[in-house]
C-alpha cells in the first residue's frame, strides 16, 4: 500500500495537497505522521523521515522502494498510476491549464504564504485585516487568485475549478484554509468556492484531523502565544 509521510495537519500546507488528493480520489494509502517537534537535525521529525526524503521535508509518497518527495511529482505519479481517477481534466487544453495553475501555486503566491501561514485551528480575522491594510503584496496575491479562480469557474461551469474535482483543487485547498482563517476579503462567488472546497469529504477529513491534533507548535505560530 502507498504510504504518505506528512507533517502536522494544522500547519503543513504542503502535506495537505497530496493527502486531500488521495483521500478525495478514494486511493488507499497509509498515513505516516512526522510530527513537527522541531526541524533541527537531531529532532524526532528528522529522524522519522531520515532515509525517506533526501530533502528532509514532507510530504513524501512511498510506493514500495520508490520515494517521491515533491508535491507536483507526487500528483503526476498518482495521475499516471491511477488514470481511471481522472486526477487531471480529460480535455487536453484544460489539462495544460490545470498544470499551469498548479505550477503557479507551487512557486508563487509567496507574499500570501509568508504572511498567512496555514493554521486551520486558529481564527485570525484581526490579523488578516492588518495584513490586508499593510501588505500590498498580499492584496496582489489575493487579486491574482480572484482573477484566476473567477476565470476557471466561469469557463468550466463549476462547482470546482475544472468542473469536477482535480489536482488543481487539491493544490489550492490550503489557500482556501488561509482565506478562511484570516478572513481575507474576497467576492461572494470566490467565498462560495472556498466553502465548497472546505466541504469536500477529503478536505473536511483533513480539517477534522487538524482540529483534533490540539498540538500547539510555537515556531509555527507568529500571531499567537497559546491556543
Cell of 132: 490586508
Q: What element of type H or E holds 6?
A: strand 2-6
| pLDDT of 40 over the 90 cut | no
Q: 2-85, superfamily in CATH?
A: Glutaredoxin (3.40.30.10)
Confidence (pLDDT) at 118: 98
pTM assigned to the model: 0.97
Q: Where are the domains of the chain?
A: 2-85, 92-208
- Residue-wise pLDDT for 113-142, tens only, equals 999 999 999 999 999 999 999 999 999 999
Same fold across 2-85 and 92-208: no
Give tens-digit pLDDT for 58-82.
Answer: 999 999 999 999 999 999 999 999 9
Q: What is the DSSP letter of 32?
A: E
Sign of the Cα torsion 160, 167, 27, 19 reads negative
Q: Give me the mean pLDDT over the 87-92 stretch.
A: 98
Q: Name the grid cell of 203.
A: 478536505
- Tell me how far apart the alpha carbons of residues 78 and 81 are, in angstroms, rounded to a whole number: 5
Domain 92-208 has CATH 1.10.1040.10: no
Helix then strand then coil, in percent of the chain rounded to 5, is 55, 10, 35
Measured between alpha carbons, how far is 117 from 178 in angstroms, rounded to an integer? 7
Question: Could you report the per-residue pLDDT of 185-221, keeping only the tens digit for each?
Answer: 999 999 999 999 999 999 999 999 999 999 999 999 9
Amino acid at each position: 500500500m502507498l504510504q504518505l509521510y506528512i507533517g502536522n495537519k494544522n500547519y503543513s500546507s504542503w502535506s495537505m495537497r497530496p493527502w486531500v488528493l488521495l483521500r478525495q480520489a478514494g486511493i488507499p494509502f497509509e498515513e505516516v505522521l512526522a510530527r513537527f517537534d522541531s526541524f533541527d537535525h537531531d529532532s524526532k521529525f528528522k529522524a522519522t523521515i531520515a532515509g525517506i526524503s533526501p530533502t528532509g521535508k514532507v510530504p513524501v509518497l512511498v510506493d514500495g522502494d520508490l520515494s517521491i518527495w515533491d508535491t507536483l511529482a507526487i500528483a503526476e505519479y498518482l495521475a499516471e498510476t491511477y488514470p481511471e481517477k481522472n486526477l487531471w481534466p480529460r480535455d487536453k487544453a484544460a489539462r495544460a491549464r490545470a498544470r499551469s495553475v498548479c505550477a503557479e501555486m507551487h512557486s508563487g503566491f509567496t507574499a500570501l504564504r509568508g504572511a498567512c501561514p496555514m493554521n486551520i485551528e486558529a481564527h485570525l480575522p484581526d490579523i488578516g485585516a492588518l495584513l490586508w491594510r499593510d501588505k500590498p503584496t498580499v492584496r496582489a496575491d489575493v487579486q491574482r487568485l480572484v482573477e484566476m479562480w473567477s476565470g476557471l469557474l466561469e469557463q468550466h461551469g463549476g462547482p470546482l475549478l475544472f468542473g469536477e474535482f482535480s489536482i488543481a483543487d487539491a493544490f489550492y485547498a490550503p489557500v482556501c484554509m488561509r482565506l478562511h482563517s484570516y478572513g481575507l476579503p474576497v467576492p461572494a462567488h470566490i467565498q462560495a468556492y472556498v466553502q465548497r472546497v472546505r466541504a469536500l469529504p477529503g478536505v473536511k477529513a483533513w480539517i477534522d484531523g487538524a482540529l483534533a491534533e490540539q498540538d500547539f507548535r510555537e515556531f509555527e505560530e507568529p500571531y499567537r502565544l497559546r491556543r
